[in-house]
Amino acid sequence: MTKLSVNINKIATLRNSRGGDVPNVVQFAKDVQRFGAEGVTIHPRPDERHIRYQDAYDLKSEVYTEYNIEGNPIEKFNAMVIKVKPTQVTLVPDAVDAITSNAGWDTIKHKDFLIDVISEFKRHNIRTSIFVDPDLKQIEGAKATGTDRIELYTEEFAHQYSLGNKKAIQPYIDCAQLANEIGLGVNAGHDLSLDNIQFFKENIPGLLEVSIGHALVAESLYLGVENVVQMYLHKLS
């Protein structure tokens, strides 16, 4: 079964827009786990415009499923991850001014840097994942860094699927097959939704985990959080 990890960044965005503590991100994390989610994902950025670094510490004792912290491995981020010791750290090469993640790593160009970062996290027994585009060379490059898993960047698939182009799944199938063959775990995320998640899951071999935030929160406005979590779990089963 593919695990559902709920990205709660948008809950933090809503909280920060008002300046108080409503909605409470820790309570939301507790609730989605109670509703059946098998993981919680956060993605703090340097300007803390949604998830704050303090949230990462506050969530540590409340996430009893898989705790996944995503982000660009700058010094502040790395130090926080090592202190919190989540289940998994997902390395994402997002620029400081990026609205959301918009590209995977060039695992060949940044091989030495990624080896250094990953080896440090692994010394602290933190599982590592690298955010990558669906490119076979990048999957091979990821293997050389020593990472445990890759996370396939699924924005292009989601866009093409919305246009009716189901053939856009093929590069993701090819990359997942290669990852399975060379011993890399496969995660996926970005713009996955109730509309496309079942098709994606049914076609990707060995898909271990999906991280879903924006779509899940938006869908929950109409359908309710508990109901939406259950809908995802059903489509992933």
Beta strands in the chain (DSSP E): 3-7, 39-42, 66-71, 88-91, 127-132, 149-153, 185-189, 207-212
Contact between residue 131 and residue 153 where contact means Cβ atoms under 8 Å apart: yes
Identify the active-site residue in 38, 190, 209, 219. Answer: 190
Where residue 206 falls (left for φ over 0; alpha for ψ -120 to 50; beta otherwise) is left
Identify the active-site residue in 43, 50, 66, 219. Answer: 43
- Cα 51 to Cα 44, 71, 107, 144, distances in angstroms: 5, 11, 27, 31
Identify the active-site residue in 38, 66, 70, 219. Answer: 70
Contact between residue 128 and residue 122 where contact means Cβ atoms under 8 Å apart: yes
**Amino acid at site 71:** G
The yes-or-no answer on residue 159 being catalytic is no
The yes-or-no answer on residue 214 being catalytic is no
The yes-or-no answer on residue 190 being catalytic is yes
User: Catalytic amino acids?
Assistant: 43, 70, 190
